[in-house]
Structure 1
Amino acid sequence: MPKAPAAVLIHAVDGSVRTLCLDLDTSKARKTVVDDDAARLGALLSTAGLAYVEDSSPSGGRHLYVPLQEPVTAGEAREVVEALAFRAPSLDANPHQNVTDGCIRVPGSAHKSGGHQNLITPLTDAYGILTLRNPPVALAKLREDLAPELYRVRHLKRTGQTRAAATTASLKAHHPHGARQDKQAHCTDSHLRAVARTGLYDTSRYASDSEARMAVLNHFAACTWTVDQVHAGMADEYAGLAALYGTKTERLLPIEWAKAQAWTAKRTPSKAPSQQAERSSARINNTSPTYLTGGSSNPATSQSSGSIHQLVNDLENVLYAALDVRFQTLGRASISLRFLIRAVLAYLRTNQTNLLDVGCRTFAVALGKDHVTIARLLPLLEKASAGVLTRVDRGRGRNADTYLVQLPREFEQIARDHTWRKGKIHAIRPVFRVLGDVAALTYEAIERAHHSPTTADLTRSTGISRTALRDALTGMETLGMIRRHHGSWQAVATTNLLQLADRLGATDDRQEQITRYRHQRAAWHAWLDRHLVPQLEEHELYDQEIDEYWLPPIEDEYEHQRSLWNAA
């Protein structure tokens, strides 16, 4: 047995890798989370047909070694390990991210805290696994199972982001000074999600596990979660929250969840009576409920709920029959405009009014874009919609611009000639925040088609170039969203788009955007409270029933007129 800590290099001289080394570290998550991650990764590897060797550290960490028959490049190995890190929050990908110095402490090596790495796999089994090693087909199967996570890794590289940057932001949130930076950067929600994943928290912010649990539960309650969703998350992605409970989950969770709901309800700002009457609990595009912002209302244009639904159905017919074709001629903004009009119709149906006063940031969350982009697109949409969308009032203070949505006379015949279609109309569903607008439009065309369309049919119906369309189809087929059958494309009904959005990181991205906009709105409202001059009513300026001055009696008319002149 070696007397000093020792480790072996992972990469060969040429940068190739013959063994994937998965380092589950207690410095990144609690020991119970490490154990859960080891079991989860072991099941994932076994399902793919990959045999592995496992050891444990005196500190509570775990190592999983996956030997390969054929070496892979450092980039390929790093990509797989980074994808696995999205499935296991305690997995440290650093050894595979450093080609020259990446190393791992192997079974039998001395540990700096005392003791040695302990081999968990029986010695004879470990010898056989390391001798026979795993075939390339098994690694290919693992990559197929990790398709969403691999797509997420590549997407982050394309957008210039790294998991290390996300980890740094999380560490800043754990530090007392970083907490202030975190508040300024609006990363509080992501910090709480990190606590829920890893079970680690800043002891200067939360004095005990109980306070950390309540902070996480308050966050989930504010996100309109249910207790069943919390239970499901604790069994999978948010194992850190389960670690904070230990063996007391069943007894304490219902009690603390009730407290979190009560606390969140008390902190929710009250709405004006007129807004409370119009509030709807319906959910749009798998997002939290969005309410009117308080723009002007005109009783003359208000319609019944049934007439609003009929108007939206007619406008959907007009959209797919005429407006989509018109928008295709508008250049680079065409696809964004097509989804913006879909978002308008979705909000129209939910709010049950043809007067729409939804702000740019609300549309930005629904479309996965920046609010500045929405502010630029809305005037273009008003101009290109041929009278469907008309601004009737400009936003002031806390209120957004108000738009009137109606069916122009020139489109009435088109609305009558087409039958209403079943199904919801969506803006951008969360999964397409990562996959992009082209994929969203392609998926919608497949989903709404009367018959399974071919690639040529999709090119004609969407107006997208064949190259861009082929890339979108390939990506969605890899993720299991669609499949090709006898040359035609079909949507796979068994694929859960919400779960896929979670694995692609779209849910976290959307939540970060909501948090950022929430802080921006709070800052804007605070500025208004400090600088906005209150608008006084006429009776507050002058009351006719109160004498504000007194003139002495005048005997002579000339003196009376002179006194009035002087008073004036």
Structure 2
Amino acid sequence: MAVAGSPLGSSGLPETARQQWTIFAAALSQDGMMRVSRNGGRSYPKRFRQRVTAAHPHQPATISVYNPEAGTGQLLVLDFDVPKAKESRAFDPVAQVHTDAADCAALITRCGGRYIADVSPAGGRHLYVLWANPMPWEELYLLTLALQRRYPRTLDITPHSTPHGQIRPPGSRYKSVNGHSPGFQELSIPLEDALAALTQPNDAHVWSLLQQDLTAELNHAAPTRHAPAADALTDDDTAGWKNAPRDNANESWLPREGGRSPLRPDLAEIAVTGIYDPTRYTAGTGTAGHAVRQTILNSLAARGWRLSEVRQLMQDGTWPGLTSFFDRYPASSRDSALARDWKNAVDYVLQQESVRNSDTRVSNPHPPVPRAVQVVRTGPLWALNVKTPEQRSLPCRSTSPPLHHLDPYQQIRVWWNAVLLAEHDPQRTRDWGRAGTSIRLVLRALGAAAQMSGMMTVEFGVRCLSLMTGLHYDTVADILRILRDEDDAFLERIETRRGERGDLYLLQIPDQYREMALWQRWRAGNIQALHPVFRLLGGGTTALVYESLTTAPTSRNDLIRMAALSPSTVSEALAALLHYGLAERTAQGWIRGPEDLDILADFLGATLLVEELRDIYREHRRQWHDWLANRLTVTEIVEATPSNGQIPVEPAWHERSTTAQEPTAPSPPLAADDDLQRLADEGVPAWLDEPPSDDHLPAYIPERDPNWEDIWRKEVERGTNPLTKLTTRRTAASAVTKKVHRVG
């Protein structure tokens, strides 16, 4: 059946369909593949999968919505289906599809986005929204779930429900009805607009605005913890105002499921005319005019309006009545008065029980991505404020300064998004090699530690991280060295040799994943370190598979991709989880089992094992603290020794006692001699002569000492150097060592 107004080619195919297929099929396909149906569009088997060709296949064909190998996609497909409208008992299914598709297209346009739209011969409609960067399929799937909640009667989310989703593109032949195809998918917008949407994909700003408009719906699809903007007012003691999410203009806003709703008719009339009945409104301590304008703003806040939208209608003359209520203020103060009243309106709505139980309940996607974060900053040192007992600032050389528009918990969430992106980055995992699983466990422990402290800085020791990862503390130290030595690293060590406290690390977001990590929604729940039970159930790989399981059925292939592990490893982990009730297999896929991790850990003895390790590490810490307490520095030696007394040699680590020694009688004073000469006569100190090893810790020697510098200056002025003995002895020892190595 030819499309009306489309001339037929030599093969009987409409030129419009041929042209649209040639332009859009290959451009929209996310992996360059298509599936051709051999039964008139009833099914599209994988065995008929082939490369997208410029030539029209003449049969119903679909293209891939995602790249199934990478699990990502740049295409958001919205399928408004007539059969689904019939199932929902719509009075006119085709008209309902047209209405919902038009409303969704207006939503995309309002957010500054572009789209491609087509229509089928049966009345179904597709909207295609291209993005500048590929995103994980779960992010696009969550967005379609939110849109389905707004358009429940017509929107079919099947194309986005799996990484193997398919869709018929513009120009594709429609499925056969009674043995004959009624036509083709045709563009429903001008070709110029469709080409503009194809060549100019939507950016992060459009994504942010779209997620903001769907905040209430997204909260049902994947609840997230609200994180207020960093520059929110701090002098307000109203909890509701602090918890209100922010719109793109950084103003408080209460999102409403289904979008904003119109103002109540009687209040809309007052907003236009400015005429009201003073007896209907309680003035309280103010005037009736103040009460009625506050009532209008309260209603607007509860109905999902934003302050910028209210301000626009007041400025363009749509609501002159509402504008007149602010005439009592000077022109320069009217906008601040409006902002103050809007703040009170949001606070009032949040405090109402009926509103707290409605669809305007507070929820929040991550704040919008500012355009400036797309620029990679490389510059000099910047100051990092570290909330330690000393309350000091440390210099950091990270290539990306912190995200000042986010609080620490939000920054941790963005860092966690970057970690998940790195785990699915083939180049990064190839560089990690066989240590990849251990690195992923250490990153999870660092994220959990950051959440415990509420800062992007972590000062947990290797033994503490060992308890959180199931790895030996020497392995943890090696992993930390690997992570901080990467070119675009997740860690920066900003302070070391801190005595009783561990090294200080800064969690940083690699520039490679920075923009995409800000695009993605924050994952719900806390970052979990390795549970003790997995020490006895296969280690980190089993924990990673368990982490990927939810209450929603997931296929084995999807688990392989989500856990970023090999098929055999996932199969072994699922067998162990199934045996101990931590996983269950259903007809639709794998889900988490009912067994409790803590109870299972107690039953298998994993809890006792961790307690024993904790006791061992406590003893290590006690010995370390004793050694620190008995250690003598060069400064202490010089200050405690008379000018003509013997300078003691600091004992080696294995010669030190962990307990304080009894004081002994002082040695008899020697003949007066030069301090440096006497030190040279004592020979090489034990701590300098011993080769470094894991069990022999070098003593801490200050980099500068005024007393020693003064002695050195005097000797240089005399033209002598009593330390020549030391230098000669060390040079000779080094030469002997090199000769032995050459002989060996």
Report the TM-score, using the length of structure 1 for normalisation: 0.40
More helix by share: 1
Q: Which has the higher contact order (CA 8 A, sep 6+)?
A: 1
Structure of higher CA gyration radius = 2
Report the TM-score, using the length of structure 2 for normalisation: 0.31
